[in-house]
Structure 1
Amino acid sequence: MRIVIAPDKFAGTLTAVEAAEAVAEGWRSADPAAECTLLPLSDGGPGFVDVLHTALGGTLVDAEVAGPLGEPVAARFLLVERTAYVESAQACGLHLLPPQRRDPGAASTRGVGELISRAVDSGAETVVVGLGGSATNDGGAGMLAALGAGPAETLGGGGAALAGLDAVDLAAARAGVRGVRLVAATDVDNPLLGEHGASAVFGPQKGADPARVHALDAALTRFAELTDPAGTLRDTPGAGAAGGLGYGLLLLGGTVESGVALVLEAVGLDDLVASADVVVTGEGSFDSQSLRGKLPHGVARAAARHGVPCLVLAGRVAVDEAEAAAAGVTAAHSLVESAGSVQAALERSGPELRALSARVASGWKR
């Protein structure tokens, strides 16, 4: 029995590597002869650089950059020949701040710009920026400030500060990346503004109450009026990713590409799945968003192309069997149901995932 184990992270509890290892340990405990290929994955958020380094090799370049509230944080990017892979969450990730310090109005993407600058200085001709897991809502303004845009103090002051802008000068930032291909890797299709935009959809996850969400959207609207007066970029799918960091990259001439597709191609998932007997994927919450192109959906589609069963092991499952089957998922199993409670699933994620994997393996037809 050949098993490909290709999960995303279980946000807040397990990295993709830890999840893959837990699934493999559980499966082997029930089926010692199973040949398990571990393939931890990322859709552009946390783990993006590590996943690609495992798949592509290359050189990891360490850097100290500004964190979301300005304190220095350790980060790194991956350089593979003339392509650099940057994980925005390493510089502006929500996980870098304790809950009591999370404020999307004050958090900045400045550190992401510093990483991009370092990558360009290292000779990168293409810079792929993985978007996801950010603490920010500044439309990429901090990133632009780090690359030379002005007024630097206001642009780098967080999303709320954008409401006070009178003008924005992007000339120096654009000159700094001239000739460099910029790619925003994300599977979020939200625009920058409005009810489906960065502030409304992701602001509450980062600590914004309804009044703060309204103020942040108004500030981003002001930023967009000054930087995109024709309105051609703000509605681009993905512009609202990572608190609008996608929009900032679009202002520099960047493009938006599927983070899932990019990663799955890099790791050679299609070839691995073609020779497997079953594929196991998973994430923290398998829900309606998962079926809109997130990582488990991409894995399931690859399995379906080759007629290989695909199982999902997730923290929680919020889609019915028909929806899952239509997406190419053979069966989906919930860690919460298996563990008996949300608290148990969160506190004992690793052991509970191992136990769930063992039970699924025991019942799987071989």
Structure 2
Amino acid sequence: MPIRLPAPPERNLYFLLVRVLICPDKFAGTLSAAEVATAVAEGWHEVAPADECVLRPLSDGGPGFVDVLGTALGGRRLPVATVDPLGRPARGDVLLAGSTAYVESAQACGLHLLTAEERDPNRTTSYGLGLLLAAAVEAGASEVVVGLGGSAVNDAGAGMLAALGAGPVDVGGYALPYGGAALGTAEALAGSPQLRQVNLVAATDVDNPLTGLYGASNVFGPQKGASRDDVMRLDAALEHFSAVLGKAFDVDGLASMPGAGAAGGIGAALLALGGRVTSGISLVTSLIGLDASLAAAELVITGEGSFDHQSLRGKVTAGIANQARDHGLPCVVVAGRNETGHREAAAAGVTETYALVEHFGSTERALAEPAVGLREIGARLARQWSR
């Protein structure tokens, strides 16, 4: 259900009220999507307390995917003991709603689970996601939706497959070390994945292919700690491993499929397993019934930590801006930083953009006081848009 901050009962001039839909993604490393929405709404109500703010925190498949859907769908949360990208103990949850299970790759593979010094896609693994998938299957789900995004891995799902009994092996039949770098020596898979014929859905935040200039290694490898030499080696390793996957599961053209590069190539493994790829933001907005909230709104506020060129390739801000435009609504983006040109943003349906770095004049303060800045921006927006 949407979170509503109601107008005070003493004001009855309903025709003067503004109905604002606030539906951001998280600000990675600082605030959850719910915290972002709350801060903006608090700032708005400091200026226009009678206006109605409807808060609908969102996720495009990355961190917060299970929390957002759990709030909207209810269901049952199943705690799972898993591991992080370096194999250390971690906690995850499987959301069970009817016969469908929802799993978040970032709970086990997330970049936020590592320090800057620990980031190394040559050795980080998606094994923990395999443990979450296995738990979903054991819970009796007939369909498993896997949210992909915000990962620290670049192993094309090899670790995930290993946890399911189908890890890569070399020419001698020995299991490969974890991480993307070793995949260049993969010869085959050790067995068949234990998935009991469940339907798999990859809810992705990007549509990148597995390899090439716009592939997982080139586009996302550097933010995960890869050097230029690492990127070249990882891209070649993933190209080789895609052929191994294609042969094992009788799939052609895996490396070039849209979404195969999501979450360090986990998308490719899910596609090889017969899964289908869908837009994470489209899936989430459909499941939480956002269209009805859009139909009742007069202004939409969305946002994310970094509004950049990747934001326009399937992430929350672009998805919401497109839907707002379809409803004829103005859409304001609030972000930690803005690296998108005005023309690009306008083409995606964005009316205005506000960034914490510009608001404070300092990256350090934007990172230290994001909630303060968002409340101040919310108040500024109210002064501009409220009647």
TM bucket, shorter chain:
over 0.9
Question: 1:60-90, CA deviations, whole angstroms, 9 ceiling, x for partnerless residues?
Answer: 1100012211111011010001000000000
The Cα shift of 1:117 comes to 0.8
Report what 2:331 is aligned to: 310
> Following the alignment from structure 2 to structure 1, what is the Cα–Cα distance between the partners of residues 285 and 59?
9
Distance across 2 between alignment mates of 1:289 and 1:134: 15
Q: For residue 58 of structure 2, what is the aligned residue in structure 1? A: 41
Shift in Å at residue 279 of structure 1? 1.1
Q: Secondary structure of 1:282's match?
A: strand
Residue 172 of structure 1 corresponds to which residue in structure 2? 192
Q: Which residue of structure 2 lines up, in the alignment, with residue 210 of structure 1? A: 228
Counterparts of 1:23-62 in structure 2 under 5 Å? 23-62=40-79
1:158 aligned partner: 179
1:318 Cα deviation after fit = 2.6
Map of 2:15 onto structure 1: none
1:94-140 deviation digits (Å, cap 9, x = unpaired): 11111111111111111111111110110100000000111111110
User: What are the Cα deviations for residues 227-283 of structure 1, in whole angstroms up to 9, with x where unaligned?
Assistant: 225742111011011110001111111111110100010111110011112111111
Q: Give 1:166 deviation, angstroms.
A: 2.6
Indicate conservation of the 8 Å contact 1:141/1:155, yes or no. no
Work out which of the residue numbers 19, 34, 54 in structure 2 matches 1:2: 19
Aligned letter for 1:167?
Answer: A
- Tell me the equivalent position of 1:88: 105
CA contact (8 A) 1:142 1:155 kept: no
Q: Distance in 2 between matches of 1:312 and 1:150?
A: 42
> C-alpha separation between the residues in 1 aligned to 2:246 and 2:212?
16
Match of 1:280 in 2: 301
In 2: Cα distance, 1:225 partner to 1:265 partner:
35
Superposition deviation, residue 155 in structure 1:
4.8
Larger displacement relative to structure 2 (3-12 or 156-165): 156-165
What is the CA–CA distance in structure 2 between the aligned matches of 1:151 and 1:342, rounded to whole Å? 43
Task: State the shift of 1:323 in Å.
Answer: 2.9
- Measured against aligned partners, the alpha-carbon deviations of 1:285-331 in whole angstroms (never above 9, x if no partner) come to 22232223321121122222222221111112233333323222221
SS at match of 1:223: helix
- Asked if 1:122 corresponds to 2:135, the answer is no
Distance 1:329 1:150, change over 3 A: closer
> How many angstroms does 1:340 deviate by?
1.4
- The separation in 2 between residues aligned to 1:40 and 1:155, in whole angstroms, is 40
Amino acid at match of 1:319: T
Native 8 Å contact 2:200 2:276 kept in 1 = yes
- Per-residue deviation, residues 2-26 of structure 1 (Å, max 9, x unmatched): 1111001112221111101110111
Q: How many residues matched?
A: 363
**Does the 8 A contact of 2:36 with 2:371 survive in 1?**
yes
In structure 1, what residue type is equivalent to 2:203? A
3-state DSSP of counterpart to 1:201: helix
Match of 1:262 in 2: 283
- The answer (yes or no) to whether the contact 1:277–1:308 under 8 Å persists in 2 is yes
Moved more, 138-147 or 282-291: 282-291
TM-score by length of 2: 0.90
Aligned CA RMSD, in angstroms, stands at: 1.6
**Partner residue in 1 for 2:12:** none
Deviates more, 1:356-365 or 1:206-215: 356-365
Unpaired segments of 5 or more residues in structure 2? 1-17
Aligned to 1:358: 379
Matched, 1:201 2:213: no
Which residue is equivalent to 2:361?
A: 340
State the shift of 1:365 in Å: 4.6
Matched, 1:65 2:85: no
Q: Is the 8 A contact 2:66 2:102 kept in 1?
A: yes
* CA distance 1:237–1:279, change in 2 (3 Å): same
Distance 1:209 1:318 in 2: 23
**Inter-partner Cα distance in structure 1 for 2:294 and 2:177:** 44
Show the counterpart of 2:351. Answer: 330
* Alignment of structure 1 residues 138-157 onto 2, 5 Å: 138-151=155-168, 154-155=175-176, 157=178
Distance 1:86 1:318 in 2: 31
CA contact (8 A) 2:159 2:167 kept: no
Q: Which runs of 4+ in 1 moved over 6 A?
A: none
